[in-house]
Amino acid sequence: MQNKEIPYKIYLKESEMPKSWYNLRADMKHKPAPLLHPGTGSAIAADELEQVFCKELTEQELDDATTFVPIPQEILNFYRMYRPSPLVRAYCLEERLGTPAKIYYKFEGSNTSGSHKLNSAVAQAYYAKKQGLRGVTTETGAGQWGTALSMACAYFGLDCQVYMVRSSYEQKAFRREVMRTYGASVTPSPSDTTEVGRKILAAHPNTGGSLGCAISEAVERAVSQPGYRYVLGSVLNQVMLHQSVIGLETKAAMDQYGIVPDIIIGSAGGGSNLGGLIAPFMGEKLRGERDYRIVAVEPASCPSLTRGRFAYDFCDTGRICPMAKMYTLGADFIPAPEHAGGLRYHGMSPILSQLYHDGLFEAVSVKQTQVFEAAEYFARVEGILPAPESAHAIRVALDEALKCRETGEEKTILFGLTGTGYFDLKAYEQFHDGRMTDYVPADEELERSFAGLPKQS
Ligand SMILES: *Cc1c(COP(=O)(O)O)cnc(C)c1O
């Protein structure tokens, strides 16, 4: 029942913005499985995690009971520089498609880092500063996370050391310069600055790297320098918590106009934007208050939900991080160097993995060229140049809207538009020149990688 005329863009007032993050785990009957120590295989203790992560972030990581976590004022202040993000009614897109569907997207790309990752970066930098640390280390794939973290570190006056997947480092030199503008140091990974990097280079001398490798290097650097901790831009429970701000804003804006989505769609790399967007909606679903159809979209080249195993696995190639129970392609899986770098991770958030295992949402995979067709179409109609990662969600939103055109159903579709694609123009160039290919791993390739999964006890 939509009771008011709905504007093109719905912005919350400052006073209406969320003051707490929502911890979806509190409402989950089946909690995500605990992290395990990579050496001993027993549940990891807080003091062990605190050697790698900041103290308060460790607490958030392990807390599956607290429903609402107040957002510290310093973080709220930073959020106000670029939030609320707009919830857009895609009137132009609906008209062009000739669909009776009503399409909405939550646009997270209107900050300089160009994606939703800033929501968690600022939180992680804040807690590191509060703990009195000197700096943080991290990895970045496509560069969005590294950029977001360098902005957050500059704001709080922290040193920021970024390991950037080599293929992106070479393809996206401008991203690197943005990070350096905010004071970060950027090293292509694998590198010879860490033991694990040297080992990986010896085994795969020409590798373009992967997120899994870069994570190992960043963790090694964090634990070998006093006053440093490691921070991660996705997958972890704490990141899902911070990203709930996306869904909370969306839900508040929709409630004001009596809008109820039938379908919620998001791209899934490590799961943080999808987990954040769906959090309050999934909460209602878990509490039996309302049902939603939720769809995760992943690349066919890195299909962790649709073709992965639900098992304990290492989070990094070097096997030094805790093990998580998740949908995974195996920590040895090195995805093809396709262009949605932010989706090229072998695993998936343990929270989303558990929800998926419990049948609470669906997943589909799409091929790169179909994604760029959707990206280009969207850019021409709605004006925004989307990130390739975001265009995975656009692809499925368009397909759902076209189905409504066939059936005449007036469904309400909500999708997450996670970022902009200004640094992805090499990929757009390949697409326009007709040089873009689709890679789909063969079953044998996945089997080889599954063979490296740790033995389940
Ligand atoms: C990193 C990224 C993603 C995917 O990461 P999630 O943790 O799954 O959200 C999606 N879109 C953009 C623009 C990204 O930068």
Q: 56, 127 in Cβ contact below 8 A? A: yes
Q: Write out the H or E segment, with its range, that includes residue 352.
A: helix 350-357
Q: Classify domain 21-70+117-230 by CATH architecture.
A: 3-Layer(aba) Sandwich (3.40)
Strands 135-140, 68-70: parallel, antiparallel or unpaired by DSSP? unpaired
pTM score above 0.85: yes
Tell me how far the alpha carbon of residue 184 is from its chain's centroid.
21
DSSP 3-state helix, strand, coil percentages of the chain (rounded to 5)? 45, 15, 40
99: left (phi over 0), alpha (psi -120 to 50) or beta: beta
Name the band, by pLDDT with cuts 50, 70 and 90, for residue 211: confident
The rounded Å distance from CA 386 to ligand 1 centre is: 12
Specify the range with the lowest mean pLDDT, choosing from 52-56, 219-223, 233-237, 314-318: 314-318
Q: Which residue from 339, 348, 389 has its CB within 8 A of the most atoms of ligand 1, so it is best to mutate?
A: 389
Q: What's the confidence (pLDDT) of residue 1?
A: 47
User: Taking 90 as the threshold, does the pLDDT of residue 344 lie above it?
Assistant: no
- The three-state secondary structure class of 47 is helix
Q: How confident is the model at residue 334 (pLDDT cuts 50, 70, 90)?
A: confident
* Per-residue pLDDT reduced to its tens digit, 267-306: 999 999 999 999 999 999 999 999 999 999 999 999 999 9
Beta strands in 173-216 (DSSP E): 185-189
pLDDT tens figures, 376-412: 999 999 999 999 999 999 999 999 999 999 999 999 9
Q: Which residue owns the Cα nearest ligand 1 atom 3? A: 342
The label of the residue with tokens 């949908």 reads 327
CATH 3.40.50.1100 segments of the chain: 9-16+82-114+237-450, 21-70+117-230
Give the mean pLDDT of the chain. 95
Is the pLDDT at 310 greater than 80? The verdict is yes
Which atom of ligand 1 is nearest to 108's Cα?
Answer: 13
Cα torsion 204, 208, 209, 210 to 10°: value is: -130
Q: Write down the pLDDT at residue 11.
A: 95
Q: May I ask the CATH class of domain 9-16+82-114+237-450? A: alpha beta
Top mutation candidate among 106, 107, 115 for ligand 1, by most atoms within 8 Å of CB: 115
Task: Tell me phi and psi for residue 87, to 5 degrees.
Answer: -100, 115
| Contact yes or no for 259/88 (Cβ under 8 A) | no
**Is the pLDDT reported for residue 362 higher than 80?**
yes
- pLDDT of 188 strictly over 70: yes
